[in-house]
Structure 1
Amino acid sequence: MKKIFSILLVIIFFLGILPTNVLADNANIFTNKAMLTVKAVPNFTSLRIYQRVGVTTTATGGTAPYMNANYVIKDGKIIYRGWYGTSNIFYYVPKTIGTYKITSFVRDVTGAIKYVTTVPIKVTDYTATQPLYVSTATNAAELSAGQNLIVRAVAYGGAGGYNYAFYVRREGTIIYKGNYSTNNIFSYILTDAGSYDVLCFVKDRLGEIVCRSTRQVSAIVAPNPKYRALIIGQHNYWDHTLAGTDVDANNMNTMLITKPSYGTMAKLTKKLDLTGRGILSTIPVAFAGADSSSVSVFYYSGHGSDNGYIFGVDNNYPGSGAVSSTELANA
């Protein structure tokens, strides 16, 4: 019994003089669990103001899943404290020059926390390598009154971070002033006839402004078109009656009179049961006086073929009752 008691005293003695970290290390060996370690790597170590730096934090050991938080340090002072989140990538946009560091914290599921600070990140001012310049383009050189004038401005050089503003001039007088925005495409309805141009302003992040005018764009008042229509219904063919075509022609004629889809008709002609040659001779009469501002409507209800022929009521022979698309176009 005394021998057993002596052995216990020796064991207790040795346990008492062993450092606690040795016991902890031995415990980790027995549980096969590595200590939580953290590594943080920035994608840039030197950049200019308003450029974005990203820091990727990698955690190993401990007990996953991990939570991440980041502090931003500028010239030795903390200027930003972030909350814990699941993302291990942190982005920051420095707006002033200086030396920055990012301290990345990792907390595992047991509550253990480790942190590491990145290497210094040098942020300098932006020095323009090219002068600020803006080019312009419009959707047309001539538009009808009531149409949209569309302008596209593209900036180059300067310090980047461009904002655009657009002023509209008519006959040299400013009639519209827009505010600055990041949108480089501008649209304006030309309500009146005249000569227009657009002043395109661009401002970079350092406040430098340049301006360029578009080409002159003419807005014209288009003359009211003259509408003419020829309606043909082929009902009584040489060897049979085709039902409904006369009704089609009459209904179309009524609609163009009472509810004209194409505008007021300068001339409206309706014909029933024309021969092939009669169709061709009626076309120039129905559309007489048509010019480049006119709209001519040809409506036909009757027999036709899949190779482009329509048929007079007399027969279906080419050169007689059958009328080709070429003959129609040249009539």
Structure 2
Amino acid sequence: MTIDDHKSHLLTLGKFLNQFKLTESVQDSEIPGNDKFFEEFNEKIDSAIHYNGWFNRENIVYSLQQWSKALRPQNLKLWLGEYNLSMTGGKTVGIVMAGNIPLVGFHDFLSVLVSGHRVVIKQSSSDQQLLPVIAAYLMNLDSRYEERIEFTKEKLGDFDAVIATGSDNTARYFEYYFKDKPSIIRKNRNSIAILTGSETTEELEKLSEDIFRYYGLGCRNVSKLYVPENYDFDSFFKAMYEWNPIINQSKYANNYDYNKAVYLMSEFKLLDNGFLILKEDKSFGSPIASIFYETYKDEKELESLLNENKDKIQCIVRKDAENHEVNFGQTQKPQLWDYADNIDTIEFLSRL
């Protein structure tokens, strides 16, 4: 299967995913395989919600729409044009997927396929509904995928390399279990935002998307703010207000109530707007429904601190982002070439 074959299949897959909306999903008769897969996939979206209390149709559709936008001709060209994949392939790559947000392991899945390898997937029990249908859709487009895609509920057995994502605790297990194989082991990471006080209301409203999308469960969600000394949080809280209906989600509300009670019993100083708690804390990972913050005096000292802790940080969000930083509102809209943990997955796979 050539790289042009893969591009063609992914382009069609992107069009297929684009059909699914929050309210009315409209079937496009010109998209291949719709007669067989459209209704099934639409049902699986609703089914996924019952298997994971953190999933809802809005967030699942949001994820599908971002993938649809990513799988467009220019993006595929920019992504894959950087590599020579003509001599790669033929290996079996295991993927151990997380399940914190919908289709969180999808990029690894695509990377293995376009690299010409065979993939064996062990899904999280929290996110098992969507990817098998996508895999079946690809097989329908080209039967050669049937020999290259496998799902398993057992421990990975016969494989040449592995990509595994989990917590810091599970990562230690992965590192031991997969010690004799080429691997990418992903641990806990969190994203941070740097504020200066000069941000507009519109910019802060975009930041709210980085904080609340997927209820803050993703590694690309902002869980920590760095603010200048004497920062006035009034404008920040006003910009967050449009997300106040999130407190109506029972699991989110339970986390909000629990964390607030724990903080108050510990007599921590808090800022609170009724659905989001701000707590001054040096840690990077804040509990659901809360954001940690820390003040800074000197931007150079802050840059040094972040560099020392770069292995704990997924995204750095700020106004006028540079280099590998991210602009407000863009953390949950990664491009195909935005690799998790800044590890080039395609480069890793091409060397097998």
TM-score class, shorter: under 0.3
- Length-normalised TM-score, structure 2: 0.20
Relative contact order (alpha carbons < 8 A, sep ≥ 6): 1 or 2 greater?
A: 2
Per the normalisation by structure 1, the TM-score is: 0.21
> Which one has the bigger helix percentage?
2
> Which protein has the bigger strand share?
1
